[in-house]
Chain A
């Protein structure tokens, strides 16, 4: 097997970082996720989370909206269509990788054998 054929070759560094992957995973199941929720669940400092969100926002994978609930500022994060596609590709790659490492070069999680 050459390096080019190996599933790791199709890993996207922007998505693959585990905290950014966590942000995409959480926002893919909800319409919007609050900054505080992401910070608490992922165990990040506000500064770290902001940095990851900026990377994802610049890549067009998430949308960040700032607003207020009463006087309290709230930041809501939602996944974009490109973000969903990138997440699906990442899951597929990870699944293929996990199966290869287990000695089963079968189909991906999407079942299409890509």
Chain B
């Protein structure tokens, strides 16, 4: 290189320095990824599906000191059944809700791709979700005869579906290359495992909530409510954040 002219990179249609080109590429990539990011809806969706399952976690009425748990209907531990939950429909609910959540998320990404002109690689979400549900179904059928592969501590509270939800969300975090979503899903996974392995109402009880006022029938709800609350708050935050950023960047006169 010689001469006093500032260093340039040869380029058609105007010359840019290497640093300028790299900066432009970073800006293009940042803009594309911020436009194509749409994980707020799957988070809200799965949060609402968990909320929708809450009536099935209300424990059975205690008659003369005896709680009557049902073994009627289809009970699969992979879909929340077979534990100390009150409803015969919990497994059916989760079997349908998980598929609905995956299908709705896939449709959302498809619709949004058409709308903004950038498609997110959401195929992994669908593949992971479908494979997971099919494996859980297969394991339910085989497990009914040969014994279930999951430890009882994990299945007794009927919250295995909350853990299953984490898998497609992890795939989504990878597909969207989103650190924020990965952090959210890591927190959610921790809460889902806590809800499956520990009676969360104990924490609430120490904080002053007394489930005995409802005949203890709602005692199992905190296990479901906490992961749902996290997804709902994270989804709302992910929806709100880019809008607030956009508003703060608008010129004051606009």
Interface size on A, residues (CB 8 A): 33
Chain B residues with CB under 8 Å of A21's CB are 21, 25
Chain A residues with CB under 8 Å of B36's CB are 29-30
A41-B31 CB under 8 A given contacts A17-B12, A31-B121: yes
Interface size on B, residues (CB 8 A): 33
Q: Do B114 and A30 touch across chains, with their CB atoms under 8 A apart? A: no
Q: Which residue of B lies closest to A93 (CB)?
A: B18
Compute how far the CA of A71 lies from the CA of B253 in the bound complex, rounded to whole angstroms: 40
Q: Which of B39-98 contact A (CB under 8 A)?
A: none
Main secondary structure of the interface of A (DSSP, over half): helix
Which one of B3-11, B133-141, B182-190, B211-219 contacts A?
B3-11
A30-B17 CB under 8 A given contacts A22-B24, A41-B28: no
Chain A residues with CB under 8 Å of B9's CB are 8, 11, 16, 94, 97
Distance in Å from the Cβ of A100 to the closest Cβ of chain B?
8
**Could you count the A-B residue pairs with CB atoms below 8 Å apart for me: how many are there?**
90
A18-B29 CB under 8 A given contacts A29-B177, A91-B22: no
Contact of A30 among B10, B13, B18, B118 (CB under 8 A): B118
Q: Do A25 and B113 touch across chains, with their CB atoms under 8 A apart? A: no
Distance in Å from the Cβ of A67 to the closest Cβ of chain B?
10
Compute how far the CA of A16 lies from the CA of B21 in the bound complex, rounded to whole angstroms: 10
Distance in Å from the Cβ of A52 to the closest Cβ of chain B?
10
Chain B residues with CB under 8 Å of A95's CB are 18, 22
Q: Do B10 and A16 touch across chains, with their CB atoms under 8 A apart? A: yes
Chain A residues with CB under 8 Å of B117's CB are 33-34, 36-38
Q: Do A18 and B119 touch across chains, with their CB atoms under 8 A apart? A: no
B116 within 8 A of A: yes
Q: Can you sample 6 A-B contacts with CB below 8 Å?
A: A11-B10, A30-B118, A37-B118, A74-B114, A95-B18, A97-B18
**Contact surface of A with B, Cβ cutoff 8 Å:** 6, 8, 11, 16-19, 21-22, 25-26, 28-34, 36-38, 41, 69, 74, 76, 91, 94-95, 97-98, 101-102, 109
